[in-house]
Amino acid sequence: MNCRPALLLVIAIVMPAAARAQMTSAPGVVIEEAAVRIDPTARVPLTTLSRGTDVTVLSVQESWVQIAFEDLRYGRRVGYIPRSQIKIAGTGAAPTVRETSRNTSEPARALPGAAPAARPPVRSVAAEFPSATPSPDTPTELRPATRAVIPIGDAFSSAIVPPTRGVRPPVSPKRGMQVTLMIPRALLKADEDGGSRTVPAVGADIVGAGRGAAVNGVTEWGRAGLPSMLAGTIKKISRKGDYTALELQTTSPRGSDMLVTLRFADSVSDPEGTLGQLVVEGGPDTPAAMTYRKEAHAAVADAIFVGDLGSLPQERKLAILATLQGAAGAPDVYLRDGRVYASFDLGVDARVFDERSADEANILAYVLNGTLLPDVRKMAQALASVQELHGMRVVYRIPHQPAPRAAVKDYQLELIADMKQAVALAGGEVTNAAFVDGATLLVDGQAVRVDLGH
Protein backbone atom coordinates (compact mmCIF):
# COMPACT_ATOMS: atom_id res chain seq x y z
CA MET A 1 0.00 0.00 0.00
CA ASN A 2 1.23 3.41 -0.83
CA CYS A 3 1.90 5.16 2.49
CA ARG A 4 2.56 8.65 1.15
CA PRO A 5 1.22 11.27 3.60
CA ALA A 6 -1.95 12.13 1.73
CA LEU A 7 -5.48 10.87 1.36
CA LEU A 8 -5.24 7.79 -0.86
CA LEU A 9 -7.58 7.02 -3.71
CA VAL A 10 -8.63 3.51 -2.72
CA ILE A 11 -10.22 1.63 -5.60
CA ALA A 12 -11.36 -1.61 -3.96
CA ILE A 13 -10.76 -3.84 -1.00
CA VAL A 14 -8.94 -6.90 -2.29
CA MET A 15 -9.05 -9.91 0.05
CA PRO A 16 -7.95 -13.52 -0.19
CA ALA A 17 -10.77 -15.78 -1.36
CA ALA A 18 -10.78 -17.68 1.92
CA ALA A 19 -11.42 -14.46 3.82
CA ARG A 20 -14.47 -13.40 1.81
CA ALA A 21 -17.88 -13.86 3.34
CA GLN A 22 -19.91 -16.85 2.22
CA MET A 23 -23.27 -15.17 2.87
CA THR A 24 -25.32 -12.42 1.32
CA SER A 25 -26.54 -9.24 2.99
CA ALA A 26 -29.17 -10.10 5.55
CA PRO A 27 -31.38 -8.53 8.23
CA GLY A 28 -30.60 -9.20 11.85
CA VAL A 29 -32.04 -8.66 15.29
CA VAL A 30 -30.25 -7.76 18.54
CA ILE A 31 -30.82 -10.58 21.04
CA GLU A 32 -29.39 -8.83 24.09
CA GLU A 33 -28.55 -5.21 24.92
CA ALA A 34 -25.50 -4.30 22.85
CA ALA A 35 -23.07 -1.37 22.84
CA VAL A 36 -22.39 -0.18 19.27
CA ARG A 37 -18.84 0.95 18.48
CA ILE A 38 -17.52 2.90 15.51
CA ASP A 39 -14.74 0.30 15.36
CA PRO A 40 -14.17 -2.94 17.33
CA THR A 41 -11.20 -1.33 19.10
CA ALA A 42 -13.05 1.88 20.05
CA ARG A 43 -13.24 2.51 23.80
CA VAL A 44 -16.35 4.69 23.82
CA PRO A 45 -19.56 3.28 22.27
CA LEU A 46 -21.65 5.28 19.84
CA THR A 47 -24.88 4.18 21.49
CA THR A 48 -26.59 1.14 23.01
CA LEU A 49 -29.21 -0.92 21.18
CA SER A 50 -31.91 -2.65 23.19
CA ARG A 51 -32.93 -6.27 22.77
CA GLY A 52 -35.21 -6.81 19.77
CA THR A 53 -33.80 -3.92 17.68
CA ASP A 54 -33.87 -4.65 13.94
CA VAL A 55 -30.60 -4.02 12.10
CA THR A 56 -29.00 -4.69 8.71
CA VAL A 57 -25.82 -6.75 8.61
CA LEU A 58 -23.13 -5.16 6.44
CA SER A 59 -20.09 -7.32 7.17
CA VAL A 60 -18.71 -9.96 9.53
CA GLN A 61 -15.21 -10.06 10.96
CA GLU A 62 -14.17 -12.65 13.49
CA SER A 63 -16.32 -12.05 16.60
CA TRP A 64 -17.70 -8.70 15.40
CA VAL A 65 -20.53 -7.77 13.03
CA GLN A 66 -20.80 -4.46 11.17
CA ILE A 67 -24.41 -3.30 11.20
CA ALA A 68 -26.57 -0.41 10.01
CA PHE A 69 -29.45 0.79 12.18
CA GLU A 70 -31.84 3.71 12.46
CA ASP A 71 -31.16 6.38 15.09
CA LEU A 72 -34.05 8.64 16.11
CA ARG A 73 -31.81 11.72 15.99
CA TYR A 74 -29.13 10.99 13.42
CA GLY A 75 -30.93 8.66 11.00
CA ARG A 76 -29.01 5.74 9.53
CA ARG A 77 -25.85 4.88 11.47
CA VAL A 78 -23.14 2.25 11.06
CA GLY A 79 -21.15 0.49 13.76
CA TYR A 80 -19.99 -2.82 15.23
CA ILE A 81 -21.51 -5.11 17.87
CA PRO A 82 -20.26 -8.47 19.19
CA ARG A 83 -21.29 -11.45 17.05
CA SER A 84 -22.81 -13.15 20.09
CA GLN A 85 -25.38 -10.35 20.56
CA ILE A 86 -27.09 -10.61 17.18
CA LYS A 87 -29.13 -13.17 15.30
CA ILE A 88 -28.73 -13.00 11.54
CA ALA A 89 -31.65 -14.10 9.40
CA GLY A 90 -31.04 -17.48 7.79
CA THR A 91 -28.17 -18.47 10.07
CA GLY A 92 -30.20 -20.08 12.83
CA ALA A 93 -29.59 -19.37 16.50
CA ALA A 94 -27.05 -16.83 17.60
CA PRO A 95 -23.55 -18.27 17.97
CA THR A 96 -22.10 -18.94 21.37
CA VAL A 97 -18.68 -17.75 22.48
CA ARG A 98 -16.13 -20.53 22.65
CA GLU A 99 -15.04 -20.86 26.25
CA THR A 100 -11.51 -21.87 25.27
CA SER A 101 -11.02 -19.00 22.84
CA ARG A 102 -9.30 -15.76 23.77
CA ASN A 103 -11.11 -14.01 20.91
CA THR A 104 -14.12 -13.09 23.03
CA SER A 105 -16.94 -10.73 22.17
CA GLU A 106 -15.41 -7.93 24.24
CA PRO A 107 -12.63 -5.75 22.76
CA ALA A 108 -9.21 -6.29 24.26
CA ARG A 109 -7.93 -3.62 26.62
CA ALA A 110 -4.60 -2.16 25.58
CA LEU A 111 -1.84 -1.87 28.16
CA PRO A 112 -0.54 1.64 28.88
CA GLY A 113 2.01 2.58 26.25
CA ALA A 114 1.25 -0.42 24.06
CA ALA A 115 0.73 -0.07 20.35
CA PRO A 116 -2.88 -0.40 19.17
CA ALA A 117 -3.87 -3.96 18.38
CA ALA A 118 -4.14 -4.79 14.70
CA ARG A 119 -7.69 -5.05 13.46
CA PRO A 120 -8.72 -8.46 12.09
CA PRO A 121 -9.36 -8.67 8.35
CA VAL A 122 -12.89 -7.84 7.30
CA ARG A 123 -14.99 -10.52 5.62
CA SER A 124 -17.32 -8.32 3.60
CA VAL A 125 -20.88 -9.20 2.69
CA ALA A 126 -20.90 -9.56 -1.07
CA ALA A 127 -23.99 -7.42 -1.64
CA GLU A 128 -22.45 -4.44 0.20
CA PHE A 129 -18.77 -4.77 -0.66
CA PRO A 130 -18.38 -6.75 -3.90
CA SER A 131 -15.10 -8.45 -4.60
CA ALA A 132 -12.60 -6.46 -6.64
CA THR A 133 -12.51 -9.44 -9.04
CA PRO A 134 -16.07 -10.29 -10.19
CA SER A 135 -16.89 -13.85 -11.10
CA PRO A 136 -17.28 -14.78 -14.81
CA ASP A 137 -21.02 -15.14 -14.25
CA THR A 138 -21.45 -11.55 -12.98
CA PRO A 139 -23.61 -9.50 -15.42
CA THR A 140 -21.75 -6.67 -17.15
CA GLU A 141 -24.00 -3.99 -15.66
CA LEU A 142 -23.15 -5.20 -12.13
CA ARG A 143 -19.39 -5.20 -12.63
CA PRO A 144 -17.52 -2.31 -10.94
CA ALA A 145 -16.11 0.30 -13.29
CA THR A 146 -12.36 0.20 -13.79
CA ARG A 147 -10.64 3.33 -12.45
CA ALA A 148 -7.01 4.32 -12.59
CA VAL A 149 -5.14 5.37 -9.47
CA ILE A 150 -4.19 9.04 -9.86
CA PRO A 151 -1.65 10.75 -7.55
CA ILE A 152 -2.92 13.39 -5.15
CA GLY A 153 -2.71 16.82 -6.75
CA ASP A 154 -3.10 15.43 -10.28
CA ALA A 155 -6.55 13.91 -9.81
CA PHE A 156 -8.59 16.95 -10.77
CA SER A 157 -8.00 19.70 -13.27
CA SER A 158 -8.36 23.34 -12.32
CA ALA A 159 -11.33 23.71 -14.68
CA ILE A 160 -13.97 21.92 -12.60
CA VAL A 161 -17.57 22.13 -13.75
CA PRO A 162 -19.72 23.83 -11.06
CA PRO A 163 -21.41 21.09 -8.99
CA THR A 164 -25.14 20.46 -9.00
CA ARG A 165 -27.17 20.80 -5.80
CA GLY A 166 -25.79 18.57 -3.06
CA VAL A 167 -22.83 17.36 -5.18
CA ARG A 168 -19.54 19.16 -4.65
CA PRO A 169 -16.13 18.87 -6.27
CA PRO A 170 -13.53 16.68 -4.58
CA VAL A 171 -10.75 18.26 -2.56
CA SER A 172 -7.09 17.29 -2.93
CA PRO A 173 -5.63 18.33 0.43
CA LYS A 174 -2.31 20.09 0.81
CA ARG A 175 -0.53 21.38 3.88
CA GLY A 176 -1.35 25.03 4.47
CA MET A 177 -4.61 24.88 2.51
CA GLN A 178 -7.39 27.06 3.93
CA VAL A 179 -10.65 25.15 4.33
CA THR A 180 -14.01 25.46 6.10
CA LEU A 181 -15.19 22.38 7.96
CA MET A 182 -18.87 21.53 7.55
CA ILE A 183 -19.32 18.52 9.85
CA PRO A 184 -21.89 19.40 12.56
CA ARG A 185 -20.27 20.10 15.92
CA ALA A 186 -22.51 17.48 17.54
CA LEU A 187 -20.55 14.82 15.64
CA LEU A 188 -17.09 16.11 16.57
CA LYS A 189 -16.04 14.07 19.59
CA ALA A 190 -13.29 14.83 22.09
CA ASP A 191 -10.03 13.34 20.80
CA GLU A 192 -7.91 11.78 23.53
CA ASP A 193 -5.01 11.18 21.15
CA GLY A 194 -4.27 14.84 20.43
CA GLY A 195 -4.33 18.31 21.89
CA SER A 196 -3.68 19.34 25.46
CA ARG A 197 -5.31 21.33 28.23
CA THR A 198 -4.46 24.54 26.43
CA VAL A 199 -5.15 23.22 22.91
CA PRO A 200 -8.34 21.13 22.91
CA ALA A 201 -8.75 18.46 20.25
CA VAL A 202 -11.80 16.94 18.60
CA GLY A 203 -12.05 14.41 15.82
CA ALA A 204 -14.19 12.28 13.56
CA ASP A 205 -13.73 8.80 12.14
CA ILE A 206 -14.74 8.58 8.48
CA VAL A 207 -15.52 5.01 7.42
CA GLY A 208 -17.02 3.44 4.31
CA ALA A 209 -20.74 2.71 4.49
CA GLY A 210 -22.17 1.01 1.43
CA ARG A 211 -21.45 3.36 -1.48
CA GLY A 212 -20.92 6.36 0.79
CA ALA A 213 -19.24 7.18 4.09
CA ALA A 214 -20.28 7.61 7.71
CA VAL A 215 -19.00 10.27 10.12
CA ASN A 216 -18.57 8.83 13.62
CA GLY A 217 -21.13 6.18 12.70
CA VAL A 218 -23.72 8.56 11.19
CA THR A 219 -24.48 8.08 7.50
CA GLU A 220 -26.91 11.00 7.15
CA TRP A 221 -24.49 13.26 8.98
CA GLY A 222 -25.58 16.35 7.01
CA ARG A 223 -28.95 16.23 8.78
CA ALA A 224 -27.45 15.76 12.25
CA GLY A 225 -27.03 19.47 12.98
CA LEU A 226 -25.94 22.83 11.66
CA PRO A 227 -22.72 22.84 9.65
CA SER A 228 -19.89 23.80 12.00
CA MET A 229 -18.46 26.37 9.50
CA LEU A 230 -15.08 26.11 11.25
CA ALA A 231 -12.37 27.99 9.37
CA GLY A 232 -9.08 26.14 9.55
CA THR A 233 -5.75 25.35 7.96
CA ILE A 234 -4.58 21.86 7.02
CA LYS A 235 -1.69 21.35 9.39
CA LYS A 236 -0.66 17.78 8.68
CA ILE A 237 -1.56 14.74 6.55
CA SER A 238 -0.18 11.42 7.71
CA ARG A 239 -0.62 7.70 7.20
CA LYS A 240 -1.28 5.75 10.41
CA GLY A 241 -2.01 2.03 10.32
CA ASP A 242 -5.14 1.41 8.27
CA TYR A 243 -6.28 5.02 8.03
CA THR A 244 -5.09 8.43 6.85
CA ALA A 245 -5.25 11.32 9.32
CA LEU A 246 -5.85 14.90 8.26
CA GLU A 247 -5.27 17.52 10.98
CA LEU A 248 -6.85 20.98 10.86
CA GLN A 249 -5.71 23.91 12.97
CA THR A 250 -8.78 25.96 13.88
CA THR A 251 -10.26 27.99 16.74
CA SER A 252 -12.34 26.80 19.70
CA PRO A 253 -15.62 28.48 20.75
CA ARG A 254 -13.71 30.45 23.38
CA GLY A 255 -11.17 31.83 20.90
CA SER A 256 -8.23 29.54 21.64
CA ASP A 257 -6.47 27.19 19.22
CA MET A 258 -8.20 23.88 18.56
CA LEU A 259 -7.11 20.77 16.67
CA VAL A 260 -9.57 18.83 14.50
CA THR A 261 -8.50 15.40 13.21
CA LEU A 262 -10.36 13.61 10.43
CA ARG A 263 -9.41 9.92 10.18
CA PHE A 264 -10.21 8.34 6.80
CA ALA A 265 -10.36 4.55 7.03
CA ASP A 266 -9.20 2.47 4.09
CA SER A 267 -12.84 1.44 3.55
CA VAL A 268 -13.55 4.93 2.14
CA SER A 269 -13.34 4.19 -1.58
CA ASP A 270 -13.05 7.83 -2.73
CA PRO A 271 -11.33 9.87 0.02
CA GLU A 272 -10.94 13.05 -2.03
CA GLY A 273 -14.56 12.95 -3.14
CA THR A 274 -15.65 12.33 0.46
CA LEU A 275 -13.44 15.16 1.74
CA GLY A 276 -15.17 17.44 -0.76
CA GLN A 277 -18.44 16.75 1.05
CA LEU A 278 -16.91 17.48 4.47
CA VAL A 279 -14.95 20.67 3.78
CA VAL A 280 -15.05 23.62 1.39
CA GLU A 281 -11.82 25.12 0.16
CA GLY A 282 -11.50 28.71 1.36
CA GLY A 283 -13.12 30.63 4.20
CA PRO A 284 -16.68 30.46 5.60
CA ASP A 285 -17.73 33.61 3.70
CA THR A 286 -16.86 32.31 0.23
CA PRO A 287 -19.73 31.70 -2.23
CA ALA A 288 -19.09 27.94 -2.10
CA ALA A 289 -19.34 27.85 1.71
CA MET A 290 -22.50 29.98 1.74
CA THR A 291 -24.14 27.75 -0.87
CA TYR A 292 -23.22 24.70 1.19
CA ARG A 293 -24.67 26.33 4.32
CA LYS A 294 -27.95 27.13 2.56
CA GLU A 295 -28.35 23.54 1.38
CA ALA A 296 -27.41 22.19 4.82
CA HIS A 297 -30.00 24.41 6.52
CA ALA A 298 -32.70 23.07 4.20
CA ALA A 299 -31.75 19.47 5.07
CA VAL A 300 -31.64 20.18 8.81
CA ALA A 301 -34.99 22.01 8.69
CA ASP A 302 -36.62 18.94 7.16
CA ALA A 303 -35.16 16.77 9.94
CA ILE A 304 -35.93 18.85 13.04
CA PHE A 305 -38.99 21.01 12.35
CA VAL A 306 -41.70 18.44 12.96
CA GLY A 307 -44.91 18.39 14.99
CA ASP A 308 -46.18 21.89 15.77
CA LEU A 309 -43.12 23.46 14.13
CA GLY A 310 -43.68 21.50 10.94
CA SER A 311 -46.37 23.97 9.85
CA LEU A 312 -43.96 26.92 9.89
CA PRO A 313 -43.30 28.41 6.44
CA GLN A 314 -40.04 27.19 4.93
CA GLU A 315 -38.72 30.76 4.86
CA ARG A 316 -39.27 31.04 8.61
CA LYS A 317 -37.55 27.71 9.30
CA LEU A 318 -34.51 28.82 7.33
CA ALA A 319 -34.53 32.24 9.02
CA ILE A 320 -34.48 30.56 12.46
CA LEU A 321 -31.52 28.40 11.49
CA ALA A 322 -29.67 31.34 9.92
CA THR A 323 -30.15 33.40 13.11
CA LEU A 324 -28.91 30.50 15.22
CA GLN A 325 -25.94 29.90 12.93
CA GLY A 326 -24.91 33.54 13.32
CA ALA A 327 -24.90 33.41 17.13
CA ALA A 328 -21.62 33.16 19.05
CA GLY A 329 -20.66 30.06 20.98
CA ALA A 330 -20.51 27.24 18.43
CA PRO A 331 -24.27 27.07 17.77
CA ASP A 332 -26.17 23.94 16.82
CA VAL A 333 -29.61 22.40 17.17
CA TYR A 334 -30.53 19.75 19.73
CA LEU A 335 -33.64 17.58 20.02
CA ARG A 336 -34.90 16.79 23.51
CA ASP A 337 -38.21 14.97 23.99
CA GLY A 338 -39.13 15.90 20.43
CA ARG A 339 -38.54 19.62 21.02
CA VAL A 340 -35.94 21.80 19.32
CA TYR A 341 -33.31 23.56 21.43
CA ALA A 342 -30.50 25.91 20.50
CA SER A 343 -27.33 24.10 21.55
CA PHE A 344 -23.91 25.57 22.37
CA ASP A 345 -20.74 23.62 23.15
CA LEU A 346 -18.40 26.11 24.81
CA GLY A 347 -15.53 23.66 25.09
CA VAL A 348 -13.17 23.34 28.07
CA ASP A 349 -12.34 25.86 30.79
CA ALA A 350 -8.68 26.88 30.64
CA ARG A 351 -8.34 26.59 34.43
CA VAL A 352 -7.80 23.45 36.50
CA PHE A 353 -9.66 23.68 39.82
CA ASP A 354 -8.20 22.21 42.98
CA GLU A 355 -10.73 20.18 44.96
CA ARG A 356 -8.66 20.58 48.12
CA SER A 357 -9.77 24.20 48.33
CA ALA A 358 -13.28 23.93 46.86
CA ASP A 359 -15.79 21.12 46.51
CA GLU A 360 -17.84 20.33 43.41
CA ALA A 361 -20.80 22.54 44.35
CA ASN A 362 -18.61 25.61 44.95
CA ILE A 363 -16.62 25.06 41.74
CA LEU A 364 -19.83 24.79 39.70
CA ALA A 365 -21.33 27.88 41.35
CA TYR A 366 -18.15 29.87 40.68
CA VAL A 367 -18.00 28.90 37.00
CA LEU A 368 -21.74 29.44 36.46
CA ASN A 369 -21.72 32.93 37.96
CA GLY A 370 -18.45 34.10 36.48
CA THR A 371 -18.29 32.37 33.07
CA LEU A 372 -21.31 30.45 31.82
CA LEU A 373 -24.24 32.69 32.72
CA PRO A 374 -22.66 35.84 31.23
CA ASP A 375 -22.21 33.84 28.01
CA VAL A 376 -25.81 32.57 28.22
CA ARG A 377 -27.02 36.17 28.39
CA LYS A 378 -25.15 37.12 25.23
CA MET A 379 -26.33 34.06 23.32
CA ALA A 380 -29.93 34.51 24.47
CA GLN A 381 -29.90 38.13 23.30
CA ALA A 382 -29.01 36.93 19.80
CA LEU A 383 -31.93 34.47 19.89
CA ALA A 384 -34.60 36.78 21.28
CA SER A 385 -36.31 36.84 17.86
CA VAL A 386 -36.53 33.04 17.49
CA GLN A 387 -38.64 31.99 20.44
CA GLU A 388 -40.14 29.18 18.34
CA LEU A 389 -37.16 27.25 19.70
CA HIS A 390 -38.17 25.55 22.93
CA GLY A 391 -35.03 26.34 24.87
CA MET A 392 -31.26 26.54 25.15
CA ARG A 393 -28.67 23.90 25.93
CA VAL A 394 -25.11 24.77 26.95
CA VAL A 395 -22.33 22.20 27.33
CA TYR A 396 -19.08 22.98 29.16
CA ARG A 397 -16.21 20.97 30.63
CA ILE A 398 -14.55 22.05 33.86
CA PRO A 399 -11.13 20.47 34.63
CA HIS A 400 -10.46 19.61 38.27
CA GLN A 401 -7.81 17.72 40.21
CA PRO A 402 -9.17 15.56 43.04
CA ALA A 403 -5.79 15.13 44.79
CA PRO A 404 -2.14 16.19 44.48
CA ARG A 405 -0.44 14.53 41.48
CA ALA A 406 -3.74 12.87 40.58
CA ALA A 407 -4.95 12.82 36.99
CA VAL A 408 -7.00 15.83 35.95
CA LYS A 409 -10.65 15.03 35.31
CA ASP A 410 -13.50 17.02 33.81
CA TYR A 411 -16.91 17.88 35.14
CA GLN A 412 -19.13 17.43 32.08
CA LEU A 413 -21.64 20.19 32.74
CA GLU A 414 -24.88 20.53 30.75
CA LEU A 415 -27.36 23.37 31.31
CA ILE A 416 -30.83 23.11 29.73
CA ALA A 417 -33.28 25.99 30.07
CA ASP A 418 -36.55 27.26 28.63
CA MET A 419 -36.05 29.86 25.90
CA LYS A 420 -38.37 32.38 27.53
CA GLN A 421 -36.38 32.14 30.76
CA ALA A 422 -33.11 32.55 28.86
CA VAL A 423 -34.41 35.67 27.13
CA ALA A 424 -35.64 36.95 30.52
CA LEU A 425 -32.15 36.40 31.95
CA ALA A 426 -30.67 38.33 29.03
CA GLY A 427 -33.05 41.21 29.70
CA GLY A 428 -32.28 41.31 33.44
CA GLU A 429 -35.80 40.18 34.34
CA VAL A 430 -34.60 37.18 36.39
CA THR A 431 -31.53 36.66 38.55
CA ASN A 432 -28.82 34.07 38.00
CA ALA A 433 -30.12 32.06 40.94
CA ALA A 434 -33.73 32.10 39.73
CA PHE A 435 -32.64 31.10 36.22
CA VAL A 436 -30.56 28.15 37.44
CA ASP A 437 -33.29 27.05 39.87
CA GLY A 438 -35.71 26.81 36.93
CA ALA A 439 -33.26 25.06 34.61
CA THR A 440 -32.03 21.49 34.37
CA LEU A 441 -28.39 21.14 35.40
CA LEU A 442 -26.53 17.90 34.68
CA VAL A 443 -23.01 16.96 35.73
CA ASP A 444 -21.65 13.81 34.11
CA GLY A 445 -25.22 13.04 33.09
CA GLN A 446 -26.64 13.26 36.62
CA ALA A 447 -29.07 16.00 37.72
CA VAL A 448 -27.66 18.31 40.42
CA ARG A 449 -28.79 21.42 42.29
CA VAL A 450 -26.40 24.34 42.76
CA ASP A 451 -27.09 27.18 45.18
CA LEU A 452 -26.02 30.49 43.63
CA GLY A 453 -27.42 32.57 46.47
CA HIS A 454 -30.19 35.17 46.18
Q: How many CB atoms lie within 10 A of CB 175?
A: 12
pLDDT-above-90 percentage for the chain = 36
User: What residues have CB less than 8 Å from 308, skipping those under 6 apart?
Assistant: none
Q: Checking DSSP bridges between strand 339-348 and strand 391-401, what pairing results, if any? A: parallel
- Domains of the chain, by residue range, sit at 178-288, 305-447
Residue 186 or 377, more confident? 377
What value does the mean pLDDT take over residues 309-334? Answer: 91
Per-residue pLDDT of 32-78, as tens digits, reads 888 888 888 776 777 888 887 888 888 888 889 988 887 766 667 88
Band (pLDDT 50/70/90 cuts) for residue 100 is very low
Per-residue pLDDT of 219-247, as tens digits, reads 888 888 999 999 999 999 998 888 899 99
When mean pLDDT is compared across 90-104, 194-208, 345-359, the lowest value belongs to 90-104
pLDDT above 80: residue 122: no
Per-residue pLDDT of 379-436, as tens digits, reads 999 898 888 999 999 999 898 888 888 888 889 999 999 999 999 999 999 999 999 9
Band (pLDDT 50/70/90 cuts) for residue 194 is low
**Please, are residues 200 and 347 in contact by the beta-carbon 8 Å criterion?**
yes
Q: For the stretch 254-282, what's the b/e string if a residue is b when 16 or more beta carbons lie within 10 angstroms of its beta carbon?
A: beeebbbbbbbbbbbbbbbbbbbbbbbbe
Dihedral angle over CA of 348, 352, 353, 355, nearest 10: 110
- Tell me, letter by letter, the H, E, C secondary structure of the chain: CCCCCCCCCCCCCCCCHHHCCCCCCEEEEECCCEEEECCCCCCCCCEEECCCCEEEEEEEECCEEEEEEEECCCEEEEEEEEHHHEEECCCCCCCCCCCCCCCCCCCCCCCCCCCCCCCCCCEECCCCCCCCCCCCCCCHHHCCCCCCCCCCCCCCCCCCCCCCCCCCCCCCCCCCCEEEECCEHHHCEECCCCCCCCCCEEEEEEEEECCEEEECCECCHHHCCCECCEEEEEEEEEEECCEEEEEEEEECCCCCEEEEEEEEECCCCCHHHHHHHHEEECCCCCHHHHHHHHHHHHHHHHHHCCHHHHHCCHHHHHHHHHHHHCCCCCEEEEEECCEEEEEEEEEECCCCEECCCCCHHHHHHHHHHHHHHHHHHHHHHHCCCCCCCCEEEEEEEEEEECCCCCCCEEEEEEEEEEHHHHHHHHCCCCCHHHHHHHCEEEECCEECCCCCCC
Band (pLDDT 50/70/90 cuts) for residue 167 is low
In DSSP terms, which residues pair with 88 in a beta bridge? Answer: 28
Q: How many CB atoms lie within 10 A of CB 406?
A: 10
